[in-house]
Amino acid sequence: MYDILILGAGASGLFLGSLLKNKNFLILEHNSEIGAKIKVSGGGKCNITNKVLNTSNYKGDSEFVKEIFKKFDNKDLLTWLKKNNLEVKELKKNQYFFSSSLVLKNFFEKKLKKHIKLQTKILEIEYDGNFKVKTNKGTFEAKNIVVATGGISFKKLGASDIGYKIASSFGHNIITPKPALVGFTVQKSESWFKNLSGISLPVEVRVENKKFNQNILFSHKGITGPAVLNASLWWEKGFVEISFLKNIKKYLKNPNRQISTQLPLPKRFVKEFLNTIEVKDKKLKDLSTEEKEKLKLLENYRFAPAGTFGFERAEVTKGGVDVSEIDFNMQSKKIKGLYFMGEVLDVTGELGGYNFQWAFSSAFAVSNL
């Protein structure tokens, strides 16, 4: 009989394991290695947290998130990293990251090796005051179980919906999981985006009441890049707006020069855009009033995405276990001894280390069970 069984050796499960002292615990992981998403995060550099931490950077119950951050925030995480000689670097954009994500992965591996059981698939969980977790490696009993199985994005890394199934089996409501931090596919009206595959440029993307001043990247499937990934977190359906330029008049000053030579945008982009709005690349003085109005679409281009690139390309999953049924120690309000943390919950952050911060903060909230 274990004190605690942690289901999942991702960021939250590993961090919780590193905090547990004088506890008899075991981490069950269905993959053949720990921290698969840690390994690939941030292109292998693992954006761990952000200098600016605000509930507005999270989709989910802001009051719930606020209470969890009161227990363990970005400053606490940086202190913990320093205490454990885990050196991080800071980007100008306020993100903190490792020179290699293997630094963190190897730390957890070394510290928790004897507490981890790999390639262990959860088959069924029974509860009679204690928990019996049936797996392909036998049955494990515990007083408490902590579900840290993550979302269903990045299936090639072994992501599964087991966390949602466990929650549902104990009567928990699941907010429909959807891909997040993911690119948009486009409808026929925006098929010109696909012709610009490989072009990246700084823009302002607006969705709902959110604005993201970051780069976008055109691809053969549609549109992606940091601004779009962040917008996808908040987009459900409907329109997205892009400002490719602010105040186009500022750039169109010479009546004797062609449009494409005056706009501070890639020429390939300008020509494709002009072709789409049916305006020839000609001298400014030769433009009609109607054509000048069409050019203003660069200030506010509005389109409705067809959808997203899907879970296979999504960095995270939004939706998950309804936090209204979870207390501030991450324990189920329905079943004593049942805990949830990390991405499996209906709390999802924007790009920039916010999801790792949530993984660590939610794990810390469990650590005193």
Q: Are residues 38 and 19 in the same domain?
A: yes
Give yes or no for residue 92 having a pLDDT over 80: no
Q: For residue 35, what is the domain's CATH number?
A: 3.50.50.60
Give yes or no for residue 256 having a pLDDT over 80: yes
Residue 93 binned pLDDT confidence (cut-offs 50, 70, 90): confident
Task: Print the SS3 string covering the chain.
Answer: CEEEEEECCCHHHHHHHHHCCCCCEEEECCCCCCCHHHHHHHHHCCEEEECCCCHHHEECCHHHHHHHHHHCCHHHHHHHHHHCCCCCEECCCCEEECCCCHHHHHHHHHHHHHHEECCCCEEEEEECCCEEEEECCEEEEEEEEEECCCCCCCHHHCCCCHHHHHHHHCCCCEEEEEEECCCEECCHHHHHHHHHCCCEEEEEEEECCEEEEEEEEEECCEEECHHHHHHHHHCCCCCEEEECCCCHHHCCCCCCCEHHHHCCCCHHHHHHHHHHCCCCCCEHHHCCHHHHHHHHHHCCEEECCCEECCCCCCCEEEEEECHHHECCCCEECCCCCEEECHHHECCEECCCCHHHHHHHHHHHHHCCC
Structurally, the chain folds into a number of domains equal to 2
Last residue of a domain, one of 308, 331, 356: 308
Q: Are residues 224 and 255 in the same domain?
A: yes
Cα–Cα distance, 308 to 246 (Å, whole number): 27
- Average pLDDT, stretch 211-217? 98
Res 263: pLDDT: 96
Q: Are residues 68 and 189 in the same domain?
A: no
Q: Are residues 109 and 158 in the same domain?
A: yes
| Residue whose pair of structure tokens reads 């506890």 in the numeric block | 23
Q: Are residues 189 and 137 in the same domain?
A: no
State both tokens at 363.
Answer: 């794990």
| Whole-prediction pTM | 0.96
In tens, the pLDDT along 135-182 reads 999 999 999 999 999 999 988 888 999 999 999 999 999 999 999 999
Q: Are residues 190 and 337 in the same domain?
A: no
State both tokens at 123.
Answer: 């088959």
Q: Are residues 141 and 205 in the same domain?
A: no
Q: Which domain holds residue 111?
A: 2-179+314-366
Q: For residue 241, what is the domain's CATH number?
A: 2.40.30.10
In tens, the pLDDT along 268-306 reads 999 999 999 999 999 999 999 999 999 999 999 999 999
Residue type, 101: S
Last residue of a domain, one of 264, 283, 308: 308
List beta partners, residue 191: none
Percent of the chain residues topping a pLDDT of 70:
100
CA atoms lying within 13 Å on the CB side of residue 138: 4
Cα–Cα distance, 283 to 306 (Å, whole number): 35
Q: Are residues 158 and 22 in the same domain?
A: yes
Residue 83 binned pLDDT confidence (cut-offs 50, 70, 90): very high
- Residue 113 or residue 43, greater confidence: 113
- Residue 144 or residue 21, greater confidence: 144
Residue 109 binned pLDDT confidence (cut-offs 50, 70, 90): very high
Q: Are residues 170 and 260 in the same domain?
A: no
Q: Are residues 289 and 355 in the same domain?
A: no
Res 38: pLDDT: 92
Q: Are residues 156 and 232 in the same domain?
A: no
- Average pLDDT, stretch 321-339? 98
Cα–Cα distance, 170 to 203 (Å, whole number): 45
Q: Which of 224, 205, 245, 193 is nearest to 309 (CA)?
A: 224
Last residue of a domain, one of 259, 282, 308: 308
Residue type, 29: E
Q: Are residues 135 and 208 in the same domain?
A: no
Average pLDDT score, the chain: 96
